[in-house]
Structure 1
Amino acid sequence: MRLLNRLNQYQRLWQPSAGEPVQATVAELAARCFCSERHVRTLLNQLEDAGWLTWRAQSGRGKRGELTFLVTPDSVRSGMMEEVLHKGQHQNALELAQIAPEQLRHLLQPFLGGQWQNDTPTLRIPYYRPLEPLQPGFLPGRAEQHLAGQIFSGLTRFVTNSGLPQPDLAHHWQVSDDGLSWHFFIRSTLHWHNGEAVETAQLQQRLLMLLALPAMRRLFVSVKSVEQPHAQCLRFVLHRPDYWLPWRLASYCSRLAHPEDTQLGCGAFRIVSFKENLVRIESHESYHLNHSLLKAVEYWITPQLFEATLGTSCRHPVQIAIGQQDELVHLRPVRNSISLGFCYLAVKQNGNLTRDQARTLMQIVRHHEVIDTLPVEESLITPSTEMIPGWTMPQWENQDAVKLPRRLTLIYHLPVELHAMAQQLKQYLAALGCELMLIFHDAKNWAGCERLADADIVMGDRLIGEAPEYTLEQWLRSDLLWPHVLTASQYAHLQATLDAVQAHPADTDRYAGLQAVFSSLMQDAIVTPLFNYRYQISAPPGINGIELNAWGWFDFTQAWLPPPSIM
């Protein structure tokens, strides 16, 4: 990039005197710029024409000329960034920002938040890590799960403030009296992001590909076949009734990409750029539901400003700032909430802990201020008082007299708060004569974890989607945690119980049945929630329509910017 090269050369000339006028020979300036004397003369002429400096040469070889700087490199860089952004050259803007991390965020501030460029409303969000590719099926990151919901559509969908699935690619659906046959009637005006019309056979093909994934197969275990009885209809034939089916199809993991291109969907936004330092999505003109007032959303991914010892994704950004994070006076908290999702502790059955010992361990966590004294930001977490609203945790008689084993093994994964929790628990148990061995799995879920079976205690993070009860059923169906924590007979009984619960046509009956399952798991000291997160979004004035969703993000289709004349 020529602009970046020229700026780098200017910075080399500037640095020795920090912008003060200097006396120098052409040879000295050429040495600073690592180029020939002929080239540095051309460079000086170009920079003088650009208004960056003045050069007064003296006649005679080896004579010193006078170099006067007229602008700072930072002001030049900002002007260049503004110019390339107005031209839509977003990658060039980030290349121009290739400076030390401590300077980068300060430089990016004027370009973050809500911006109108070429009469185009754009929202830029600073983000702390690269986003992982949006592959079909389950995704580990909360940001990726939310983004998948903005780019891909499913047969059904969830909407804010409702736990019931709504029509999406399917205009409506019908179920047979026995609950074994479900017809989803596909809209006739659907288009992929590349402009091609969506064919029902493509949706069927992608669904069959999804069902071939092991975790998805466990989720849709009741599905016998997916058929296309006519051009605008898909039929699900089931082995057994499953009245969670519209919920399963509305989950982010069931959103449908093009069968030949996993980055191509038909949601409200389409992917324009998906790189390590920039993700840009733009509104889909042929979207079949409400269109966004934003033209584009960009994630500007900047280097971490702190040392991370647990991998690149150890930070848990539940508090999102849109725009100028360092200038908090310009930001205002627009929404906050307590997450329904939670970090949890689970105890392996038929392992080194008896039920009474497991209850003792959970009482230590709950009543000895282990969570309250964690060395994390006070505004970040809050101790759990129930699994989800209305699902209370059991109260046991005092278990202080129960002695714990001499040695136990704890395995845990991200987020980083669980690292602090593990260290805290290790100290508490050591004082009780129990040595706790810690194993860290550097990931956001248990996929690929070879040592899960070695653990007596497990800690992880459970995200809760738009339908809390269903999301917990999905957790029991699909997560690798449960076959490792439960005995074979317990796991088989759990799945049989879930089969019985899903056969209830009435939502309230399924909710009650699932609550009974989790009440039993908590009563038997198999699992307990530890703490919830405090979600918060802050934004500068002028960004409207920000509503926190279940992921701690906001629906990009609802956000909007007033025109510049009234901002």
Structure 2
Amino acid sequence: MPSERLYLHFTRLSQLLPTGEAELTLPELAALLCCTPRNARLLLRRMEQAGWLCWQASAGRGHRAKLTLRRNQQQMRQQQLAALVAEGKLEQALHLVQGRTEQLLPHLLAHSRCSAPGGRQILRVPYYRPLPYLVPDVPLRRSEVHLVRQIFSGLVRRNEENGEIEPELAHHWEQLEARRWRFYLRPAVRFQHGRQLQAEDVCESLGSLSSYPLFQHLERVEAISPRTVDIYLREPDPWLLQLLCEAQALILPREWRSLPDFALQPVGCGPYRVVRNDPQRLQLEAFDDYFGLRALLDEIDIWMLPKLAERLTCQLRLAPERADLGQRRAESGLEAGCYFLLSDDRSLWLRDESLRHWLAATLDPIALMAGMARELQQILTPALGLLPHWRDLPLPAEVARPATLPPRLVVACFNQHLEFRELAGAMAGLLASHGVALELRELDYSRWARGEDEDVDLWLGTVNLEHDRDFAAYSWLQGVPLLRAAWNSLDPLWAQLSDWRSQGARPGPRQWLRQRQSESRFLPLFHHWLELESRSGVHGLRMTALGWFDFRHAWLKPDNGGDD
């Protein structure tokens, strides 16, 4: 790649020679470039080798030569930008475009795959927001859940294709008693900071979860030997293995709270380790000491370009639009989850069931979609339940308008999610026609998930489950504090969910949510079409339920069919 200094010299020439041609001597050219004639000759040679100009010298001292520029400033700027992106120099590229990040996208897609010296395979991915918290100790958003699974490992994992439970850190397990399970740990597993995994790490990670409703039946976790762990339960749990597949059950080093900047640069024993995480870039590198099969891609480089949110029409795009790279590959599917509205029992207005029913009828998904941008209409489909196949709730009949409507309602969503503003705008338009003002309150995700704002009437959110079985709905209901905060009058029903988990008692999660829908406390709005597009020679891709791909199995085929 030509040096930054060479680009600057050419830019200076193009500014001083607006016609692109001139006849001048070498000393005159040196004066233009503010250097010695010897250096000017070197610069000319390099620019000519790069194909930027043509220098036709004349014989004899003092004779003028003809200089012809073969590139204009715009062409050179694009070439420089492409070169910076290809080399992964994000900061310099952003400086060159003066913060106009939309100008980076074509180049980033064109250079999404590359090989570094030594044949290292690097995949670059554009993304629209920073990822500052990658610790699985609290409810996380969809992308964070995917990423912590690349960084950390659990005792067991769920096979996405068939739903079966597979060994991970534990190579075998057995149920000794109704409330006691034993897990046998793999030997010589290392964390990414070098220390070996010990039974005490498992005890600390899982034992600290009992304060969360989803894990409240965990009584204690004991190390029986350096590689054997027993889990004691307060009540039987036939779903325990599914529970241990949850992101919060991933294993952290027991000293994680004392490690600096752990939220930004966490340490796990998964296939990838974090080498950089800031508002501009998340850089993941394959962990060579991973206990499983070493990842095929050496590096995943996620570039944070917030202004691209409105331009990234795919959920995840890894490809330029170039026919020479072969047929475009795209996977799409409806998410296991939906956009939804929750009514808050703490709202004086929404304690009125007739008002809740009226809101459900007024904010009908079809009516909302009519008020949204066409781009969003193409990736959303109306929902009748939490999961796409839960379509057994009939559409509501026409509902009478209450005698008194609230002059104002507050709806809260989490920030850095483009669709929420559009959706809230459509809601506001429908309600305004009835004289009801809608105030949108954007919160950071952790505050939204806690549901501590008591002056909120409606909660707008989205849930993306990792599979479409009943346990996924159960784990969401029990795992997000917002639901208990908003539905604080429904304590007996939380007990019913625990009975379902321990005994298979009915009603289960589906019936429980159907009842909440019939009360208009839970309003499913839309299912989102997730899409993963690749045309850049990236192989081994299969879209996960979270709209990403498992980094471990992706690989790049060199353009020449051999080693780069």
Q: Give the corresponding residue for 2:392.
A: 392
**Selected match of 2:95 from 93, 98, 104:** 98
The answer to whether the 8 A contact 2:136-2:148 is kept is no
Amino acid at match of 2:382: P
Question: How far off its partner does 1:316 sit?
Answer: 8.4
Amino acid at match of 2:442: H
Amino acid at match of 1:162: N
**Selected match of 1:564 from 553, 556, 559:** 559
The answer to whether the 8 A contact 2:473-2:510 is kept is no
Amino acid at match of 2:11: Q
Q: Give the corresponding residue for 1:352.
A: 349
Amino acid at match of 2:441: F
Matches within 5 A, 1:336-485: 336-349=332-345, 351-353=348-350, 354-366=352-364, 369-377=367-375, 378-388=377-387, 389-390=389-390, 392-403=392-403, 405-414=405-414, 415-432=417-434, 434-444=435-445, 446-447=447-448, 452-466=453-467, 468-485=469-486
Q: Are 1:237 and 2:232 matched, yes or no? A: yes
Q: Are 1:323 and 2:319 matched, yes or no? A: yes
Q: Deviations over 1:26-80 (max 9, x none)?
A: 99999998xxx55x7686455234235678999xxxx999865466634763685
Q: Give the corresponding residue for 1:185.
A: 184
> Cα 1:563–1:375, aligned 2, differ >3 Å: closer, same or farther?
closer
The answer to whether the 8 A contact 1:387-1:393 is kept is no
**Selected match of 2:521 from 504, 515, 526:** 526
Question: How far off its partner does 1:295 sit?
Answer: 2.8
Work out the CA distance in 1 between the residues paired with 2:532 and 2:232: 43
Question: If the length of structure 2 is used for normalisation, what is the TM-score?
Answer: 0.81
What secondary structure sits across from 1:566 in the alignment?
coil
Q: Are 1:295 and 2:292 matched, yes or no? A: no
The answer to whether the 8 A contact 1:318-1:552 is kept is no
Work out the CA distance in 2 between the residues paired with 1:326 and 1:420: 32
Q: Give the corresponding residue for 2:282.
A: 279
Work out the CA distance in 2 between the residues paired with 1:410 and 1:28: 70
The answer to whether the 8 A contact 1:380-1:533 is kept is yes
**Selected match of 1:247 from 228, 242, 251:** 242
Q: Give the corresponding residue for 1:167.
A: 167
Q: Give the corresponding residue for 2:216.
A: 221
The answer to whether the 8 A contact 2:329-2:533 is kept is yes
Amino acid at match of 2:338: F
Matches within 5 A, 1:30-69: 37=34, 44-52=40-48, 69=69
What secondary structure sits across from 1:257 in the alignment?
coil
What secondary structure sits across from 1:108 in the alignment?
helix
Question: How far off its partner does 1:549 sit?
Answer: 0.9
Q: Are 1:270 and 2:273 matched, yes or no? A: yes
Work out the CA distance in 1 between the residues paired with 2:149 and 2:476: 19
> Cα 1:494–1:412, aligned 2, differ >3 Å: closer, same or farther?
same
> Cα 1:479–1:141, aligned 2, differ >3 Å: closer, same or farther?
closer
The answer to whether the 8 A contact 1:51-1:70 is kept is no
Question: How far off its partner does 1:320 sit?
Answer: 1.5
Q: Give the corresponding residue for 1:158.
A: 158
Q: Deviations over 1:185-242 (max 9, x none)?
A: 211142223454322223333444x538xxx633322222221111112222223333
The answer to whether the 8 A contact 2:365-2:382 is kept is no
Aligned pair count reads: 534
> Cα 1:448–1:531, aligned 2, differ >3 Å: closer, same or farther?
closer
> Cα 1:406–1:131, aligned 2, differ >3 Å: closer, same or farther?
closer
> Cα 1:276–1:5, aligned 2, differ >3 Å: closer, same or farther?
farther
Work out the CA distance in 2 between the residues paired with 1:114 and 1:404: 63
The answer to whether the 8 A contact 2:113-2:121 is kept is no
The answer to whether the 8 A contact 1:334-1:546 is kept is no
Question: How far off its partner does 1:169 sit?
Answer: 0.8
The answer to whether the 8 A contact 2:365-2:526 is kept is no
Q: Percent identity?
A: 22
Question: How far off its partner does 1:484 sit?
Answer: 3.2
The answer to whether the 8 A contact 1:324-1:330 is kept is no
Question: How far off its partner does 1:425 sit?
Answer: 1.9
Tell me whether 348-357 or 378-387 shows the greater mean CA deviation.
348-357
> Cα 1:528–1:448, aligned 2, differ >3 Å: closer, same or farther?
closer
Q: Deviations over 1:424-453 (max 9, x none)?
A: 222222223x41331321434544878731
Q: Deviations over 1:493-523 (max 9, x none)?
A: 233222212212xxxx379622222122122
Q: Give the corresponding residue for 2:131.
A: 131
Work out the CA distance in 2 between the residues paired with 1:146 and 1:521: 29
The answer to whether the 8 A contact 1:116-1:564 is kept is no
Stretches of structure 2 lacking an aligned partner (at least 5 in a row) = none
What secondary structure sits across from 2:182 in the alignment?
strand
> Cα 1:32–1:522, aligned 2, differ >3 Å: closer, same or farther?
farther
Question: How far off its partner does 1:375 sit?
Answer: 2.1
Q: Give the corresponding residue for 1:312.
A: none
RMSD (Å), alpha carbons: 3.8
Q: Deviations over 1:333-364 (max 9, x none)?
A: 42110111211111122621311221221122
Amino acid at match of 2:476: W
Q: Give the corresponding residue for 1:311.
A: none
Question: How far off its partner does 1:254 sit?
Answer: 2.6
Work out the CA distance in 1 between the residues paired with 2:437 and 2:514: 28
Work out the CA distance in 2 between the residues paired with 1:198 and 1:144: 23
The answer to whether the 8 A contact 1:186-1:232 is kept is yes
Work out the CA distance in 2 between the residues paired with 1:458 and 1:5: 54
Tell me whether 153-162 or 14-23 shows the greater mean CA deviation.
14-23
Amino acid at match of 1:108: L
Amino acid at match of 1:48: L
What secondary structure sits across from 1:370 in the alignment?
helix
The answer to whether the 8 A contact 2:413-2:448 is kept is no
Work out the CA distance in 1 between the residues paired with 2:29 and 2:452: 59
Work out the CA distance in 2 between the residues paired with 1:206 and 1:12: 60
Question: If the length of structure 1 is used for normalisation, what is the TM-score?
Answer: 0.81
